[in-house]
Amino acid sequence: MEKENTPETTIPSAPTPQPAPIKTMKEKDIKSVSVKQRVVKILVQVGLYTFLTILAISILFPFYWMLISSLKTLTEYNETIPTLWPRQFCWDNYVTAFTGELNLGRLFLNTVIVGVVSTLLSLVVTIISAFAFARLEFKGKNLMFGALLATMMIPGELFTITNYITVSAFGWLNTFTVLIVPFLVSVFYIYLLRQNFMQIPNELYLAAKVDGTSDFKYLWRVMVPLSAPTLISITILKMMGAWNSYIWPLLVANDSAHKLVTVGLRGTAFVDLATNMINYPAQMAAVVIVTIPLLLVFIFFRKYIMRGVSRSGIKG
């Protein structure tokens, strides 16, 4: 018997179900961590700016108080409850600061003379000393430089008595010499400029010596121009130091012919001898006048100060 040919029947397979897209625990953890990081970053930024704002207010408020006090009348200034804004602007305080017994013009002139002369002479001493420690070779150079750096650890106030005895023996009291000579040498400025000089390749110095260039000519033609930012920084800092000095001028030059502006502001020029009261608004006006030059110097030359200091701190 012949077998019947029956067609093979195929059973269709059921479609495999596709899993629904679900978020794994790992993705959830990553998102939660990123959210926490954003929150922490925002909180850190808020805390940082809050701290900086409080710090800025605490620094600027004394200047604000000085300015508004210089525009108040003496009666308003002496009130029990202070006012944060003048009821009446009294510009006569600035006139009194210039035309009164203070003689502010003479104090400005004395301070400028001492500042300019001491800065120029200090630059000469600093440049020559820094060049010697950076390029010249002599016995005991490192030992001597280390000894100079060690003196920076001693507070300058400890030398006040010995310096006063020395200048008294020389007969320099109440002269411009006593305000200039004792502070011509600054170890910090020498160190600052030496570090900048050491960044200049030594091959330039050797090539100059082969060409027969003297050390002074190499210093003046090569090293000084390349170190201009640091020299500008030293000049500004030295002028500011001479302008702000108080203790030493008070001890050695307290006469009217050589008195500096910082000493004059603390004198009796603003005291009313009849009532023995101090005219604080007029004194604040004089302080504002004295502060303006330093403020302008810092505003316009701050980038040179930062550039000179930063360049001197990197050797390469």
Q: Give the DSSP per-residue string, 119-159.
A: HHHHHHHHHHHHHHHHT---TTHHHHHHHHHHGGGS-GGGG
Q: Do the beta carbons of residue 288 and residue 69 sit within 8 Å?
A: no
Q: Do the beta carbons of residue 297 and residue 239 sit within 8 Å?
A: yes
Q: Which CATH superfamily is domain 92-312 in?
A: MetI-like (1.10.3720.10)
pLDDT digits (tens, 9 = 90+) for 243-288: 888 888 988 888 878 888 888 887 667 777 667 778 888 888 888 8
* Average of per-residue pLDDT values in the chain: 82
Q: Do the beta carbons of residue 270 and residue 262 sit within 8 Å?
A: no
State residue 312's pLDDT score.
Answer: 52
pLDDT digits (tens, 9 = 90+) for 30-40: 777 777 888 88
State residue 16's pLDDT score.
Answer: 57
Please name every residue paired with 37 in a beta bridge, in sequence order, or none if there are none: none
List the chain domain ranges.
Answer: 30-69, 92-312
Q: Do the beta carbons of residue 199 and residue 315 sit within 8 Å?
A: yes
Higher model confidence: residue 202 or residue 25?
202
pLDDT digits (tens, 9 = 90+) for 68-107: 998 988 888 888 888 888 888 888 888 888 777 777 888 8
- Token look-up 């010697």 returns 132
CA distance linking residue 249 with residue 178, whole number of Å: 9
Question: In terms of Cα–Cα distance, which of 146, 194, 166 is closest to 252?
Answer: 166
Across 178-201, average pLDDT: 89
State residue 50's pLDDT score.
Answer: 94
Q: Do the beta carbons of residue 175 and residue 111 sit within 8 Å?
A: no
Strand, helix or coil at 83?
A: coil
Q: Is the pLDDT of residue 7 over 60?
A: no
Greatest mean pLDDT range, 193-202, 206-215, 274-283: 193-202
CA distance linking residue 140 with residue 152, whole number of Å: 19
Please name every residue paired with 271 in a beta bridge, in sequence order, or none if there are none: 278
Beta strands of 12-150 (E only): which ranges? Answer: none
